[in-house]
Structures are given as C-alpha cells and as structure tokens.
C-alpha cells in the first residue's frame, strides 16, 4: 500500500479549516455538511437566506471538479459493493448523522476547533465505528 501524504492533503486540510473559520466568522454557522445539505433540501424551513447552503454545496462539487480537471488525477469512483449495499450504507450514514447531531465535518472540523466535549465524543465514536466497519468488510465479509 502506497501512502505518502505530502502537499495536497496539507493544502486541502488548511483550506477546510480556513473555510470553517470564515463561515463561523461571517454568518455564525458551523461547517457541518450534513446539516448544510439537510437545511438546503428541507423545504419546510427554506428561506431566501438559506441560499448560502446551496452555494456551499455547489462549492464542494466545484472544488472536486476543479481538482479532477487540473491535477492530472481524475477522481474515478471505486465502487466495489452492490447498489443495495450502497443504499443501505447511505441510509445508515444519514441515520447516524441525525443520531449524533451532526457529521464528521461538523464535529471533527468545527466542533473540535471549538473544544467541544460533545464533538470529541462524536469523533471518537465515528473513528471507532469506521475502524470496526473496515475490519468487518475487509476481514469478515470477504472471506
């Protein structure tokens, strides 16, 4: 396995941190992608001021497209599971973000940056569940 993070992860992490701080300082919002996307799609709470959510999500998509077009490293999906597994996975992630009152970006980037104990517990839980999932998928389901 080749794992040699150098400049791109450092630059990406720095940009995520800067964007998180700018979002809090400019409009007082937390950069939690699940909350931003849910608020954008939730028509019951839609307000014209919520257009920033659409801009945020479009910015995420545009950044990925820009990286893919300019870096020489196109982002090709590596789908190794069937569609039912992917749907189940997506539903579990959605349920987990609801249950945990946020996602990895909200708790991991913004929450830890604010020294939130709740976010620390959430991040430790995310990491433990992620490690357990990798173990199950790679060692128990593939043999």
Hey, what are 31's tokens? 């950069």
pLDDT block averages, 10 residues each, the chain of length 143: 68 86 87 82 72 87 86 72 83 80 81 87 89 90 73
- Give the per-residue pLDDT at 68: 82
The pTM score is 0.68
| 24 vs 56: CA distance, rounded Å | 13
- Residue ranges of the domains in the chain? 7-140
The pLDDT of residue 111 is 85
pLDDT for the residue numbered 136:
92
In angstroms, the CA 112 to CA 120 distance is 6
| The predicted structure's pLDDT at residue 143 | 64
Which pLDDT score is estimated for 124?
Answer: 92
């Amino acid at each position: 396995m080749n794992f040699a993070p150098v400049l791109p992860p450092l630059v990406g992490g720095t940009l995520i941190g800067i964007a998180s701080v700018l979002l809090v300082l400019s409009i007082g919002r937390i950069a939690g992608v699940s909350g931003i996307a849910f608020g954008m799609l939730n028509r019951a709470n839609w307000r014209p001021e919520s257009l920033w959510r659409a801009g945020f999500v479009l910015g995420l998509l545009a950044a990925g497209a820009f990286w893919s077009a300019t870096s020489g490293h196109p982002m090709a999906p590596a789908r190794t599971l069937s569609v039912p597994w992917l749907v189940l996975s997506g539903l579990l992630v959605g349920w987990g973000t609801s249950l945990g009152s946020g996602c990895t970006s909200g708790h991991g980037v913004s929450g830890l940056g604010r020294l939130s104990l709740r976010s620390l517990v959430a991040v430790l839980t995310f990491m433990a569940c992620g490690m357990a999932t990798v173990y199950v998928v790679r060692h128990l389901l593939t043999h």
